[in-house]
Chains A and B, each alone.
Chain A
Amino acid sequence: MKVISIDKTEWANGIEKTKSIYRLFGPVKENTWHSFMPLGPGEQPDMAYGNSRLSPKFLVHPQTEPMFEYNLDEKQADHHVLKEIPKDVSPKAIIGIRPCDASAFLLVKRNFDTPTYKDPYWLTAYNSLTLIGYACNQPCSTCFCTTAGCGPFHEEGLDAILVDAGDRYLLKALTEKGEAYIQSAGWATSAPSDADQSIEKLKSTAEKAIASHVSTDKLRNQSTTQLYDAPFWEEIAFSCINCGTCTYSCPTCWCFDIQDENHGKCGVRMRNWDSCMYPLFSLHGTGHNPRGAKAHRVRQRFMHKLKYYVDKYDNGIQCVGCGRCIRLCPVNIDIRKVCNQMNSYDPAACVCPV
């Protein structure tokens, strides 16, 4: 599709125009960090950012979300019967989402959109979104997207991709949704014919700037039970405090809990983010816990992302290389190191000291 050139002085005006059709979300600086926030009239996305502290996954899978409502008053008709809550399906657009975070939606979609069951909450929210991505000219030191099935200019999962080319933006529509957004902004200046080459050049520079990598080629053929029993889990988990920061900040973590919340005679059935880092996540009613120890839970997180997911979908690892868990982990557990350790694990070479 063709590339549009937007003079940076025209940018804000176009964004403003789209607000009549879309509810906009974009990066906004709060204290030291950027977060994806709703952009009201006159509010602009702050395009001078690396990446947000938390991924914008909450716009599809909110941290807490009502599923059903009910009343417990036996005098009311339909008491104790759950009723669906109407959801906002109006068009929304995320401006400036990084390619890794958009790509993460596609990974997560495999969990929520299956041949047997479709999750209506996730899918409705996802389908109402238009994702205007923002290519990373300057990746962070913790980014390893290029070896995690993604990249700083990765297009899959985006509706349009925006590239910062100095005094102007180059914007390429990738889907009809992206096309429609660009039209609503009124940006119509075709980029010069060498725009594709300029993008390629920036892309190649950005990819070269990514200094850290993971190896994933051997994960598929590793034996699940041998990896599960590998001796390194205790050591990896040793410093972990099971805080769950890695799971909450991860754009590809989707685990959730379902809880009923009553207010007098009324109530809602909620779903809330949950985390495999917590013992309650898997605790049986009998008191037995299949993942009762910290190391079991750390192993679950990495095995899920780097082995179970790989085996289940045969479509790469459940990680886009955004590096948030590395940056935010309070005890410096590094998924890159764990991934390489799992990938290169050779049970035959592992001799335990007697």
Chain B
Amino acid sequence: MQNPYLPYPVKIDEIITETEDKNLKTFKFVFINPADEQKFAYRAGQFAELSVTGKGEIPIGIASSPTEKGFVKFTVNKVGLVSSFLHNMKVGDVMGIRGPLGNSYPWDVLEGKNVVIIGGGFAFTTLRSSIIYMLDPVNRPKFRDINVIYGARTPGMLLYRDELAAWERRDDIHMHITVDATTDPDWKYNVGFVPTITEKKAPQADSDTYAIICGPPIMIKFTQPVLDKMGYGHDHIIMSLENRMKCGIGMCGRCNVGKEFVCKDGPVFTLAQLNTMPKEY
């Protein structure tokens, strides 16, 4: 019997401090047993349990894309016991990764469709995975227009700034980067909250256009009415939930929303699905 609680041993290969407040770091891991990389085959939108031996596990969205080989990447916010300890670990340290876990964004549904990605703050990790995946030369023809609305409090709080700049220069993805406010005279992108920019920049709804929203509750709360106004159907709005987790495989009982476990049946749900579930997240 395969033990679903046993993490694959990994080594920290690189650590990048992403944001000016230094609270977000991206960890690049390589598998100690190369065969484990195949077993960890994942889809954009899934997550994994990062296992810091002696401290515990944390569920984190996979920030790398399935099209990137040889490593996996996670961007971790410094919050509690495990993430704080992880922030102090160094390149070469050994830990574990358990997964991939959860469903993913519905790539079979999204194929041949326009995709609007709406992200805020540090919830951009699985959205990065999705963008890299869709922009892969093999995959790009499978999708129509791709729009990305991504906001943070300040320019220095945006994740993956070099990649954002590179995507800005491409003509096969429409980037709408925004910050809540800035005093930076060189800032050449949008200023304004994500819902406002969504209203201005997002394409009008049609049956072939899907929105993926991932961000803090306050952003979701004010973006959803905007999408409603623009005519997005609730089965065309895709969201990724978070809840406290331990097992990641639908067994330990804490992350349920109604009868669904966020870890196993989610974390991705359409708004139409969420409308039938208690608001317990």
Interchain CB contact under 8 A, B80 and A285: yes
A232 to B24, CA, bound (A): 43
**B229-272 interface with A by 8 A CB criterion:** 242-244, 246-247, 249-259, 264
Interface of A is mostly: mixed
Interchain CB contact under 8 A, A120 and B253: no
Which single residue of chain B is at the shortest CB-CB distance from A267? B54
Which single residue of chain A is at the shortest CB-CB distance from B216? A286
Per-position 1/0 for B66-90, Cβ under 8 A of A: 0000000000010110010000000
Which single residue of chain B is at the shortest CB-CB distance from A225? B278
A38 to B277, CA, bound (A): 45
A80 to B8, CA, bound (A): 11
Interchain CB contact under 8 A, A84 and B6: yes
Which single residue of chain A is at the shortest CB-CB distance from B217? A288
In angstroms, how far is the closest chain B Cβ from the Cβ of A284? Answer: 6
**B27-74 interface with A by 8 A CB criterion:** 32, 51, 53-57
Which single residue of chain B is at the shortest CB-CB distance from A291? B280
Q: Which B residues are CB-close (under 8 A) to A300?
A: 256, 280
Q: Tell whether A274 pairs with B280 under 8 Å between CB atoms, given A80-B95, A84-B6, A283-B244.
A: no
Q: Which A residues are CB-close (under 8 A) to B93?
A: 80
* A2 CB–B CB distance under 8 Å: no
In angstroms, how far is the closest chain B Cβ from the Cβ of A252? Answer: 12
Give the residue among A70, A124, A260, A307 with the most B Cβ atoms within 10 A. A260
In angstroms, how far is the closest chain A Cβ from the Cβ of B39? Answer: 14
Interchain CB contact under 8 A, A116 and B264: yes
A249 to B243, CA, bound (A): 26
Q: Of A72, A119, A281, A285, which one neighbours B4 at CB under 8 angstroms?
A: A119
Q: Tell whether A225 pairs with B94 under 8 Å between CB atoms, given A274-B252, A308-B258.
A: no
Q: Which B residues are CB-close (under 8 A) to A224?
A: 258-259, 276-278
Which bucket holds chain B's interface residue count? Answer: 35 or more
Give the residue among B51, B57, B242, B256 with the most A Cβ atoms within 10 A. B256
Q: Tell whether A70 pairs with B54 under 8 Å between CB atoms, given A84-B3, A116-B264, A276-B254.
A: yes
* A79 CB–B CB distance under 8 Å: yes
In angstroms, how far is the closest chain B Cβ from the Cβ of A192? Answer: 44
* B189 CB–A CB distance under 8 Å: no
* A105 CB–B CB distance under 8 Å: no
In angstroms, how far is the closest chain B Cβ from the Cβ of A234? Answer: 16
Per-position 1/0 for A297-317, Cβ under 8 A of B: 000100110011101100000
* B138 CB–A CB distance under 8 Å: no
Interchain CB contact under 8 A, B242 and A255: no
Q: Which B residues are CB-close (under 8 A) to A116?
A: 249-250, 264
Interchain CB contact under 8 A, A260 and B1: no
Q: Which A residues are CB-close (under 8 A) to B32?
A: 81
Which single residue of chain A is at the shortest CB-CB distance from B278? A228
Q: Which B residues are CB-close (under 8 A) to A187?
A: none
In angstroms, how far is the closest chain B Cβ from the Cβ of A263? Answer: 10
Q: Which B residues are CB-close (under 8 A) to A81?
A: 9, 32, 53, 94, 96
Q: Tell whether A308 pairs with B56 under 8 Å between CB atoms, given A118-B1, A225-B277, A255-B252.
A: no
**A44-78 interface with B by 8 A CB criterion:** 67-68, 70, 72
In angstroms, how far is the closest chain A Cβ from the Cβ of B107? Answer: 19
Q: Which B residues are CB-close (under 8 A) to A311?
A: 259
* A242 CB–B CB distance under 8 Å: no
A259 to B51, CA, bound (A): 11
Q: Tell whether A276 pairs with B253 under 8 Å between CB atoms, given A67-B5, A81-B53, A284-B243.
A: yes
A123 to B1, CA, bound (A): 10
A185 to B148, CA, bound (A): 72
A285 to B77, CA, bound (A): 10
Known: A118-B1, A224-B276. 11 other contacts (CB 8 A): A72-B54, A82-B51, A116-B264, A123-B1, A225-B277, A260-B53, A274-B252, A284-B243, A286-B79, A290-B281, A308-B258
Q: List 17 A-B contacts (CB under 8 A).
A: A67-B5, A72-B53, A80-B95, A82-B6, A111-B253, A117-B251, A119-B4, A120-B1, A225-B278, A228-B258, A255-B254, A256-B252, A274-B253, A290-B243, A300-B256, A308-B256, A312-B259
Q: What are the nearest 3 A-B pairs in CB distance?
A: A255-B253, A285-B79, A308-B259
